[in-house]
Chain A
Amino acid sequence: MDRDLTLGDRLKVRSMVYVASEPIPRFWPMRTFIHHNPLFGLEHLPFDRAVEQGTALFHGRGYLPRRAYQRYRAEGKVDDRALGRYVRAFVEREDPRLAGIDLEAWLWSVLVSADREEICPRSDWLDGSSLRDALDDRSPSSRPSPTEEQLAALLRERILPERMSRHRSVYSQLDLLFGTRLAATLDDLLIKSCLDFFDEGQSVWQAPGREHGFYRSWKEVARRNLRFLLHGRDLAAVLASDQEPEAMIAHTLVTLEVPESSWQDYILHELTHLHGWAGFIRFRSQAHHYYWAERYPADLTDFLAVRMVIGLTLVQEAARRHRCPGDSDAIAAFVAASPFEAYLRAELYGGSILAGWAQRADAAIGRSRRRELGGLAVDYIAAKRRDEAMRQAGILADLARSVGPEAEVGLRDLSERDLERLVEVLRTWESQEGYAWLRATEAHYIDDVIDRVRPSGSPRADRRPFAQAFFCIDVRSEPLRRHLEALGDYQTFGMAGFFGVPIGFLEYGNGSEQPLCPAIMSPKSLIVEIPADLVLEEEPLYGALSHVFQDLEHSVLAPFVAVEAVGLLFGLGLIGKTVWPVRYHRTYGRLHGKKPLTRLLVDKLTPEQADSLVRAVQRAMIVRALRSELGLGRHQITDADVRELREIALGNAAGPPSLTVQLGLSAEDEAVFVEKLRTVYRVDRHEASLQMERLGRLGFSLEEQVQYVHRALVSCGLVRNFSRFVLMVGHESLSRNNPYESALDCGAAGGGHGLPNARVICAMANKAEVRLRLRELGVVVPDDTWFVPGAHNTTTDEVTLHDLDLLPTRHLLYLERLQNGLAAATKRTAAERMATLETGQRHDREPGKAAAMALRRANDWSQVRPEWGLCRNLYAVVGGRHLTEGVDLEGRVFLLSYDHRLDPDGRFLENLLAAPVVVGEWINLEHYFSTVDVHRFGSGSKVYHNVAGRFGVMTGNQSDLRTGLPLQTLYRDGQPYHEPLRLISLVEAPLPFVLDVVGRLPKVKSLVMGGWIRVIVLDPDDGYKAFVLEEGEFVVHPRSGLTERSTVMEGVS
């Protein structure tokens, strides 16, 4: 392509980038951490195939090492019968017909007793003949050295593969052949450019020109980059060739001689190389109303263009300095012309060379004598063939020994051809083994949950409970619910922590709106928090001082000026929060002043009310402006003055205002003041119109309020027998110095706190008008029932009730009992949790101490694991509490209350499956992949984390953005604490009903049929038989008592 790309060509490049970005999961900023499936882009495939593709794309692993599964088996967590079934199925499928070899026994031995990670390691030269020689302990039979053609074919596969899954970029090919570090250098330079551009307020000095977009602003800076010039990297020359990012991408690919048919694969691998950054840019370019993206736009085409330019420059520099090929064709020609040298180079720089030959190869490559290299390569290949054969022979012999004497005999008698076939079959088994282990472990837990989750025999007494409480479906709610119910007459329910009310929340004192709903939704309504007490504007002394200190911290010059003066003060804080964290933060909170009592604006405003509100705000801003700019106190101005200034600022009247005349201001000063009113204090027509639009979003109409409350109550099955207190308990966490704080908060509330949602729904449910309408719909809420919002702190297990000042007087008599009950449940839950966090200490007898320990952990800024979060999540139960009441599910279950009898058309079940269960799947798979490969899918150890730009973390000074969860969240004492298994969802409803609902939800159907979620249906209409979905069919579980096979798939069209 020439310099001037046509629009069609540009679109073609963009579409390639778009298609290539599909497998890359979006990465939300960590301020609102969203659990997501790292293989989200591959969910259209069945699970096992998606794992195979995803692990190749992202260079990670999809299953635990064999040793880990063997440990699970030793702990009784694996169903041996299921495992045996999978082995038999594999043998029947492969059918290798190896005489004298009981393949099932061999594979079983691999599973349960092999301690090597790989039974058949990768080999270049292994064949039946060399294997036979090694097994028979014979010196290897002489064979001709490989020809140049054979070697070239092998190298083409390794260095220049055409298969997408093993594609290599030009610079990674050069790294492999010439030991350059182009790929690492490219990543470093690109990451630095990304840090400069995407910074969201962490840096004091901002990169220039960001408003022009990523590629353009980077280009302007890169042209003048002295470091590049000193390294001899002539970026300016490369950049001069093309202006647009699409053109630069095309130019680079053409210059590197990448065939156009390979462009899609090439782009895919370029983007997935730094998939953290790519995922963040992808999120950013698609997010609605993301402030930083609106100000500083960037997309993946820009990202790729920057990467391509830097890559091309590095390749050209390497070609000049190291005299290596400068494009794909030249590399292929080099490999074809000097295959022995290329092979030695690939072995050495790829790290696969035999250790004893490395120095010789290094020295020979340095001398660059072709004949020497050829001779050395021939000798090396012979040695490698021997080594591979001996290694494989040793492994096979050990394996045969563990199987038994017949296996040893069988191995001894195998022909060369059959030996090769045996190795091939074992290698194929190893590639599928992880999936077999996974299913066998899940089978154990499916048995377990079916055994334990059954309808309770005795019917619940129709007594009015003392209190009812709605908790989030989060797994951390389960222990608290269990302990609360055990303490007394409490009834609990589970629903998504946003209580079905998606809101944008404008917190008091916070200027920006926060969406409090699942990430897949966009809230239409805005809820504003306003103080209930009117106070004069003043800031506590400590608050003012803390602003000063914060400014000092962020100033570049401050360390030079103020460190001796105020450093000691910072030191006091350092000591305080290290040695006495709880006391320190309590004192800190007191000094800052308590948050005033607030109310939420829940009701929709009429246009008149909205207009009145806007006027009130504008008047307040004018009063503030008069004080700040002209030093006038409120007592010096009248309402008429304010009204006049407002009209002038809005352009409805002409100046000068009488006030400024009285003050003797010049015309110029008056104009400046009016302009400031418009630009700084935003008293202008456009802003007023924006505010009116925003206020139009404020609150909910009566009809909407009725619908939300009705849906919340009916979907959970609470339509009668309301208690005096109905608690709506959102959840949140508390931790210090924790970039992953948001991951511990409520995912259903978009990674925020669920309390505002709880307050909103309680405010709605307490309204007389709403209750009147509910009565018409058949839900009778007694007059003495009061909905109380609360917050469950999952790090300390404390439950704090809010808006108690609104409680009816008569309820105060019972409040103490309620709060005592919650406090007792808190301590019991803390005792249960602390036993898993502070191992080796007894907590069950001292719940009070456990609660204190939990509080300390929450406030300790050095604590890398304030709580386990959603670790060990495994089940989701969609059904009545009668299935799980009193059952200790160890905090591993998402409990969603549901009564199918109140849902004749399946709408509620649709909502539950489409939203909370999908979010549960995201959470589950994030934990899954982060556990099986904590360094690639997870984010590694927290110890090395550094916050990047206020939106993510990196490992060390610079790295890809770390997606996934950290080691400390998932591992304990070096072993996985989270058991990576797919979510096992149990739905209590008639099977045809469930199938019908699933059939209406294409996404859910795809997840279910693709094996991303394991499904069990407990059919109450069929004697509570448990139907388990296995390989596309629902099978009656043996522990249901019956053995018939049921293939009821007609409902799924």
Chain B
Amino acid sequence: MEWLELVLVGMLLPVFPASVVFNAVIRWTPTGWGKAAAMILLPEVGVALLSSISSARVPLVHSRGWIVLVAFSALLYAFRAISVREISIWARLMATSGLGLVWIFEATHRGRDVMAVAVLAWSVPAALLLVLAGLLTERSGGAYLGLQGGLARVVPRISSLATLSALALVATPLFPSFFALLHVIGVLRLFWLWPLLLVLLVWGWSLGGFLQQLLFGSYSGERFPDLGTLATSSGAVVLSLLVVSAVVWSGAWIGI
């Protein structure tokens, strides 16, 4: 029974192979707002479900094998994201990669309430990207990068928010994912540094491609409107709150 519960949690707080379900749900949810909501809610539900399971009942998650699986899952999805050009798919895959690492909090006996906050480090920027992808699709027909390039000049506000959200996903300081990853590296043995650094490397590689296709090039397609002031400000506020909470929360957390 615990195994079933674990698999269910694995679908919501995605770890390969159960992560397939998480990705399918996000993929098939209509509209960007819907996808964003699913992105935020599903992992929280997963953490809540995990909270209902006693640690003693699922010793597997505290084993070395589980950490290997989690690292593999993170690496797999990060690698998969490299060749993706569609913004919502990229956000989904990168979030899956990062959310998997949150399992290490459980593996290292960190409180599940901390986990509930840590998942936001990836789910919130991913949700923001999913919303932006939806808005871009509404305005231009799609959110597939690399067709035209040079969106930074055409829709600078969307591009700026997308860039910051993407940076937030790949553990860039001072976003929460950076501190979360810092904690993960801190609590694991030196041996585990290599796979985590590999994940970071692949994230950077993927981010480079994403930003290249988003920002650079010369745009020659049809013009379409950018975000309004209110929407842009809201996005900026969300990202700012992420940074502030990261600095405060992680500072408190690591004893600063």
B222 within 8 A of A: yes
Asked if A358 and B85 sit within 8 Å, CB to CB, the answer is yes
Asked if A362 and B85 sit within 8 Å, CB to CB, the answer is yes
Asked if A355 and B218 sit within 8 Å, CB to CB, the answer is no
B86 within 8 A of A: yes
Closest to B139 in A: A355
Interface centre among A355, A356, A359 (most CB of B within 10 A): A355
- As a 0/1 sequence over residues 81 to 97 of chain B, the CB contacts with chain A under 8 angstroms (1 = contact) are 00001100100000000
**Complexed CA–CA distance, A356 and B218 (Å):** 20
Closest 8 CB pairs of A and B: A355-B142, A358-B144, A355-B141, A356-B141, A356-B142, A359-B86, A351-B147, A355-B140
What residues of chain B lie closer than 8 Å to A357, measured between beta carbons? 142
Chain A 928-959 residues near chain B, CB threshold 8 A: 935
B143 within 8 A of A: yes
Query: B-contacting residues of A (Cβ < 8 Å)?
Result: 351, 353-359, 362, 391, 935
What residues of chain A lie closer than 8 Å to B144, measured between beta carbons? 355, 358-359, 362
What residues of chain A lie closer than 8 Å to B143, measured between beta carbons? 355
B148 within 8 A of A: yes
What residues of chain A lie closer than 8 Å to B140, measured between beta carbons? 355
CB distance from B147 to the nearest CB of A (A): 5
Known: A351-B147, A351-B148, A353-B147. A358 touches B142 (CB 8 A): yes
Asked if B222 and A358 sit within 8 Å, CB to CB, the answer is no
Known: A351-B147, A351-B148, A353-B147. A359 touches B142 (CB 8 A): yes
Asked if A935 and B218 sit within 8 Å, CB to CB, the answer is yes
Chain B 88-132 residues near chain A, CB threshold 8 A: 89
Closest to A354 in B: B141
Asked if A359 and B147 sit within 8 Å, CB to CB, the answer is no
Known: A391-B222, A935-B218. A355 touches B86 (CB 8 A): no
**Complexed CA–CA distance, A518 and B183 (Å):** 69
Asked if B142 and A354 sit within 8 Å, CB to CB, the answer is yes
What residues of chain B lie closer than 8 Å to A353, measured between beta carbons? 147
Asked if B218 and A358 sit within 8 Å, CB to CB, the answer is no
What residues of chain B lie closer than 8 Å to A359, measured between beta carbons? 85-86, 89, 142, 144
Chain B 115-174 residues near chain A, CB threshold 8 A: 137, 140-144, 146-148
**Complexed CA–CA distance, A353 and B143 (Å):** 12
Interface centre among B89, B137, B222 (most CB of A within 10 A): B222
Closest to A352 in B: B147
CB distance from B209 to the nearest CB of A (A): 12
Interface centre among A356, A358, A935 (most CB of B within 10 A): A358
CB distance from B138 to the nearest CB of A (A): 10
**Complexed CA–CA distance, A935 and B220 (Å):** 14
**Complexed CA–CA distance, A357 and B89 (Å):** 14
Q: List 22 A-B contacts (CB under 8 A).
A: A351-B146, A351-B147, A351-B148, A353-B147, A354-B142, A355-B140, A355-B142, A355-B143, A355-B144, A356-B137, A356-B141, A357-B142, A358-B86, A358-B144, A358-B147, A359-B85, A359-B89, A359-B142, A359-B144, A362-B144, A391-B222, A935-B218
What residues of chain B lie closer than 8 Å to A351, measured between beta carbons? 146-148
What residues of chain B lie closer than 8 Å to A356, measured between beta carbons? 137, 141-142
CB distance from A61 to the nearest CB of B (A): 11
**Complexed CA–CA distance, A359 and B84 (Å):** 9
Known: A391-B222, A935-B218. A355 touches B147 (CB 8 A): yes
CB distance from B26 to the nearest CB of A (A): 14
**Complexed CA–CA distance, A354 and B148 (Å):** 11
What residues of chain A lie closer than 8 Å to B86, measured between beta carbons? 358-359, 362
What residues of chain A lie closer than 8 Å to B85, measured between beta carbons? 358-359, 362
**Complexed CA–CA distance, A333 and B137 (Å):** 36
**Complexed CA–CA distance, A362 and B143 (Å):** 13
CB distance from A430 to the nearest CB of B (A): 15
CB distance from A364 to the nearest CB of B (A): 14
Interface centre among A353, A356, A359, A391 (most CB of B within 10 A): A359
**Complexed CA–CA distance, A359 and B89 (Å):** 10
CB distance from A962 to the nearest CB of B (A): 16
CB distance from A48 to the nearest CB of B (A): 24
CB distance from A65 to the nearest CB of B (A): 12
**Complexed CA–CA distance, A353 and B144 (Å):** 10
Closest to A366 in B: B83
CB distance from B153 to the nearest CB of A (A): 11
CB distance from B130 to the nearest CB of A (A): 14
What residues of chain A lie closer than 8 Å to B222, measured between beta carbons? 391
Closest to A357 in B: B142
- Extra A-B contacts (9), CB below 8 Å, given A355-B144, A356-B137: A351-B148, A355-B137, A355-B140, A355-B141, A355-B142, A355-B147, A356-B141, A362-B144, A391-B222
**Complexed CA–CA distance, A356 and B143 (Å):** 7
CB distance from A963 to the nearest CB of B (A): 19
Chain B 24-53 residues near chain A, CB threshold 8 A: none
**Complexed CA–CA distance, A355 and B149 (Å):** 12
CB distance from B42 to the nearest CB of A (A): 22
**Complexed CA–CA distance, A391 and B144 (Å):** 20
Chain B 67-89 residues near chain A, CB threshold 8 A: 85-86, 89
What residues of chain A lie closer than 8 Å to B218, measured between beta carbons? 935
**Complexed CA–CA distance, A357 and B140 (Å):** 12
What residues of chain A lie closer than 8 Å to B147, measured between beta carbons? 351, 353, 355, 358
**Complexed CA–CA distance, A351 and B140 (Å):** 14
Interface centre among B137, B141, B146, B148 (most CB of A within 10 A): B141
**Complexed CA–CA distance, A935 and B222 (Å):** 21
What residues of chain B lie closer than 8 Å to A362, measured between beta carbons? 85-86, 144
CB distance from B109 to the nearest CB of A (A): 41
What residues of chain A lie closer than 8 Å to B148, measured between beta carbons? 351
Chain B 203-227 residues near chain A, CB threshold 8 A: 218, 222
**Complexed CA–CA distance, A353 and B137 (Å):** 14
**Complexed CA–CA distance, A933 and B89 (Å):** 36
**Complexed CA–CA distance, A351 and B86 (Å):** 14
Closest to A358 in B: B144
What residues of chain A lie closer than 8 Å to B141, measured between beta carbons? 354-356
Interface centre among B137, B140, B144 (most CB of A within 10 A): B144
Closest to B218 in A: A935
**Complexed CA–CA distance, A935 and B146 (Å):** 20
CB distance from A741 to the nearest CB of B (A): 29
Closest to A121 in B: B222
What residues of chain A lie closer than 8 Å to B89, measured between beta carbons? 359
What residues of chain B lie closer than 8 Å to A935, measured between beta carbons? 218
**Complexed CA–CA distance, A353 and B141 (Å):** 11
**Complexed CA–CA distance, A351 and B141 (Å):** 14
Closest to B144 in A: A358
**Complexed CA–CA distance, A893 and B220 (Å):** 36
CB distance from A239 to the nearest CB of B (A): 33
CB distance from A885 to the nearest CB of B (A): 47
Closest to A359 in B: B86
**Complexed CA–CA distance, A581 and B162 (Å):** 41
What residues of chain B lie closer than 8 Å to A355, measured between beta carbons? 137, 140-144, 147
CB distance from A609 to the nearest CB of B (A): 63
Closest to A362 in B: B85
CB distance from B143 to the nearest CB of A (A): 7
**Complexed CA–CA distance, A354 and B147 (Å):** 9
CB distance from A391 to the nearest CB of B (A): 7
CB distance from B30 to the nearest CB of A (A): 14
**Complexed CA–CA distance, A351 and B147 (Å):** 4
CB distance from B149 to the nearest CB of A (A): 8
CB distance from A932 to the nearest CB of B (A): 15
**Complexed CA–CA distance, A357 and B147 (Å):** 11
Closest to B149 in A: A351
What residues of chain A lie closer than 8 Å to B146, measured between beta carbons? 351
**Complexed CA–CA distance, A359 and B143 (Å):** 9
Closest to B88 in A: A359
CB distance from A55 to the nearest CB of B (A): 15
**Complexed CA–CA distance, A806 and B188 (Å):** 85
**Complexed CA–CA distance, A362 and B218 (Å):** 22
**Complexed CA–CA distance, A359 and B148 (Å):** 14
CB distance from B251 to the nearest CB of A (A): 36
**Complexed CA–CA distance, A935 and B89 (Å):** 33
**Complexed CA–CA distance, A351 and B218 (Å):** 12
